[in-house]
Amino acid sequence: MPPSVVEITRREEFSASHRLHDPALSDERNRELYGICNNPNGHGHNYELEATVRGAVPATGMVMNLTDLMRILRERVLPQVDHKHLNHDVPFLQGVIPTAENVAIALWEQIEPQVRRYGCRLHRIRLFESRNSYVDYLGPAE
Ligand SMILES: [Zn+2]
């Protein structure tokens, strides 16, 4: 019988501010491109972050202990972004335009090595920027 593959997901929330602005472009082009998200003094979001680990179910019955996944997010990741200005306060976002896409990629890079330490495989980062808008990142293209 083939192994049963299951995806498990932990969801956490954080609040942060950001500004979408590309310094290589004119102020006018930035306003066209990013609209209200180009507001010079930034603006805030209540983000929801979901990390999904995918794998076969071993004898323990757990793809990964969800408590360990929760700890990775709460102890290693959220303190770096919660109540921060993503453009200014977060070392791993320096020089990155903090769109939801780019933040999801950067969060993957923070979380994936932690998950791998447990011998597990991160499958997806889903980042909600608002209740109805989210992006999915499935890792680097192979
Ligand atoms: Zn925004």
Name the residue ranges covered by the structural domains of the chain.
Answer: 5-137
Residue 19 C-alpha to ligand 1 middle, in angstroms?
7
Residue 7 C-alpha to ligand 1 middle, in angstroms?
29
Active-site residue flag, 120: no
Phi-psi region of 24 (alpha: psi -120 to 50; beta: other; left: phi over 0): alpha
Residue 119 C-alpha to ligand 1 middle, in angstroms?
35
Residues 127-142 pLDDT 10s:
999 999 999 999 998 7
Residue 114's identity, in one-letter code, is: Q
Task: Indicate the average pLDDT of the chain.
Answer: 96
Evaluate whether the domain defined by 5-137 bears CATH number 3.50.50.60: no
Residues 70-120 pLDDT 10s:
999 999 999 999 999 999 999 999 999 999 999 999 999 999 999 999 999
Q: Which residues of 26-36 are buried (b: 16+ CB within 10 A; e: fewer)?
A: eeeebeeebee
Q: Which of 18, 21, 37, 45 is catalytic?
A: 37
Q: What is the pLDDT of residue 3?
A: 83
Residue 33 C-alpha to ligand 1 middle, in angstroms?
13
Q: Where are the alpha helices (DSSP H) in the chain?
A: 27-34, 66-71, 78-81, 100-116
Q: Which of 13, 32, 83, 88 is catalytic?
A: 83
